Structure 1
Amino acid sequence: MVDPAGRLAEVKATIAGAAKRAQRDPADIRLIAVSKTRDADAIRPLIAAGQRDFGENRVQEAAAKWPALRAEADGIMLHLIGQLQSNKAEEAVALFDAIHSLDRASLVQALAKACEKAGKQPQLFVQVNVGDEEQKGGCAVADLPALLAAAAEAGLTIAGLMAIPPAEVEPAPYFALLDELAERHGLAGRSMGMSGDYETAVTLGATHVRVGTALFGVRE
């Protein structure tokens, strides 16, 4: 049984190795610990081990556990990595430092309004449906230029793109596609790669990897 600090060290070493192979600086890659459905007692050991970026799927769940955890440690950066409903935009802007799932024009408008009201803007990533999967969130590749234009027009600054490749297939071509799209649109951020494929994502340009199981262990 490896302890949380040991798992964190292993994942960081894997990221560093992949970065070196790709002739990249490991410091350019942010490790987001996916803490969705994990309770505060499971999260605290990772915070104690120095982890500061955490990812949640739902606004309500994050609101229930993070204010208390943030009071215990400085420098926590909270990322919303799940789908966001437009009616939760205001709450999300208040709670999160980064939102990785901007994927439609109606959400652009809701976030612009929420950011103006709050007087701040989280880092925003546009989620792209790179596998063209009906059941998955994200804007279609063909719709990306229009969505980026809408965001700019609404006064939002986009930090990068996010994608989740189709399951059970080789993810590399999808990571390469996201990297190419980000390059084409002059965006620095590439949020891609999870527990099973983050090493590949790093070699193909990921700036943010979202890792859950490899850090927290398999769910019981």
Structure 2
Amino acid sequence: MTISSNGPRFNASTLFTLVFFDRSRDSDAEAAMNGPYLFQTRAEALESLWNYVSGRIPACCADPFFDEAESLGLEVEDETGDITPILESANAEQREAIIDWYFEYSDDDETEAFYEITEHTPSAPESEEPLENYSVFGFYEETGQSFLDHVQASNEYDAMRVSAESRPDATYLCAMAGLLRESAGVAFAGEGVVDAQTILEQSDVFC
């Protein structure tokens, strides 16, 4: 029997997986793995497993189950050995007890049988370092043209990396926190880098 968990997308923060080992036929000596199957609640996982177990018991262990039914808290009104009404009348708590009994019964010296329902709660993602505004200074060696970039980054070095992604041929000088602007706290020597001799000769500009 195949168990599937076809249904809506899983949006729950907590999910459950079901895995069980059991022989696929009574004559098999080796158990086969079934699952993992994904469910939104533990009750859904048990319901799916119950559909499997309630079909297996009549096929492979009806008489042993009938003998143990009362010890599992089940009412046995029909002494003919018919287990169908017993299985159909089981409530949720009794169904889980029957599931446990079935896997204990099936687990013997020749075959390992068990099931496991595991709860999975995703861990909270690590908080990312907050981004801040930075001003990045650099120039192009080939042309001497300078630039000032405004970027968001986690620190000064990260700011230069962010700028470099769009300026792979540039040469970088520094990065400073905040949004510095030309003529508002920042002055460029010219369109590009300017040598000291030129600055000294243009005393009317650099004064």
Q: Place the TM-score, normalised by the shorter chain, in its bin.
A: under 0.3
Q: Greater strand share, 1 or 2?
A: 2
Taking structure 2 as the reference length, the TM-score comes to 0.19
Q: Greater helix share, 1 or 2?
A: 1
Greater C-alpha Rg: 2
Taking structure 1 as the reference length, the TM-score comes to 0.19
